[in-house]
Amino acid sequence: MWMELEFLQNALLALFFSNSQSKSSPNTGVLPDLRSTLAILMETFCYSFVLISKLFQIHNVGKSNNNKTTKPQNCWENPPFIGKKGHNIVFSHSKKTDTLKLTTLLAAIGMIGMASAPAHAADDCIARGDLDQIYCDMDGDLVADAPAADQLVDPDTLVFAYTPVEDPAVYADIWNPFLEHLEKVTGKDVHFFAVQSNSAEVEAMRSGRLHVAGFSTGPTPFAVNLAGAVPFALMGADDGRFGYTLQLYTRTDSGIDTVADLKGKRVAHTSPTSNSGNLAPRALLPGQGIVPEQDYEVVYSGSHDQSILGVVAGDYGPAPVASEVVERMAQRDLYDPKEVKIIYESKPFPTTSFNYAHNLKPELVEKIKEAFFTFDMKGTALGEEFKGVSKFLPITYQDDWAVIREIQAANGVKYTPDNLK
């Protein structure tokens, strides 16, 4: 019996490791793996039956020799589990220790089955793209589908956050008129949540502590894929125009007049996940003959505000920043526009996306959308802060963030928590 045990153990191990190798080596041919796996399974099943025969004392009646089962020299030459004419099979209970051995082996076979199965979320999702394992995208719109009805949430208090800024307290006041409108339309209490970083904002929505949020352009795909954020709006003009540009600033007296002059300089990018402050320059400037980190030194300032203030103070040479941020800083007299100049400007990108958490009840989602699309910014602190825009416009992540995803793909960006900064 122990010969069969030894073979079965080796077969199970072979099956496990062949399966593991096929998972870890995606370039390995699938067909050979299937053939070897099937062969091991068939041989394992064959010898398992021999072992079961011995454990439960299968007796052959009629043409059998001495009513004993014997292990064939080759399991497939005389398969013990194939009924033969004149043979009847009778089971009788064996010792408890043998039963325990059999149970252990059957459990091991079950574990192999589990090891062979791919790891899916609880709903066994078959389509999720770049989304985290806890989300699914069966409709192919690149954002998380709503969960089952019993997993939807309808909080008494909605928590709203706007992308990290230099002075969150100022923005709490600026957003107050809109938040009052959101309360009126939804019938919910609404709290403003001041976030200190992109990663903190994404984690807050992933954990269920944040329900509605504005995510900066670059971090938006991280929020979508890691936190189940669903972009549905951004700020725009009455004529439907929206967007901002990458602007490359330097001091007027820096002696830097063209992109080619960046060579050998110390350039302030904002943060690794920023679109206009990092990823877009890395994707676009090579077309201008300059490769970041190869032709110039990259330093991270931490934010667009810090980049432009650092340029003005002479801490950095040039700096790529978002046009809308610099314009708002000038409006608040945070720097003198006469001290800087633009040496490069890109085509427009989408601005901050406004998102709801994917697991909110559909009725609440519709009320949130209604609040955004019926709010008139004219004459409010929000309208004063964001010049050139007057309302929220409907958007989709699939269409309106395509250019951003392309830029991030060109930079080899992977949507993981470690890459979100």
- pLDDT under 70 in the chain at which residues? 1-123
pLDDT given at position 91: 34
Three-state secondary structure call for residue 189: strand
What are 4-50's pLDDT values in tens digits?
444 444 444 344 333 433 333 333 333 334 433 444 444 444 445 44
pLDDT given at position 202: 97
pLDDT given at position 64: 40
For the chain, the average pLDDT equals 78
Dist. CA 415–CA 418, nearest whole Å:
8
Dist. CA 113–CA 18, nearest whole Å:
13
pLDDT given at position 276: 93
pLDDT given at position 331: 87
Dist. CA 43–CA 360, nearest whole Å:
51
Dist. CA 55–CA 98, nearest whole Å:
6
Assigned token pair, 285: 């400037």
Scan for tokens 């795909």, then name that residue: 221
Set out the domains of the chain in order of their start, with CATH numbers: 2-116 (no CATH), 149-242+350-419 (3.40.190.10), 246-345 (3.40.190.10)
Assigned token pair, 250: 């330097």
Taking each helix axis from N to C terminus, what angle separates 362-373 and 168-186, rounded to the nearest 10 degrees?
120
Dihedral pair phi/psi, residue 60, rounded to 5° = -90, 130
pLDDT given at position 3: 44
pLDDT given at position 57: 44
pLDDT given at position 386: 87
What are 273-312's pLDDT values in tens digits?
899 999 999 999 999 999 999 999 999 999 999 999 999 9
pLDDT given at position 167: 78
What are 39-65's pLDDT values in tens digits?
444 444 444 544 444 444 433 433 344
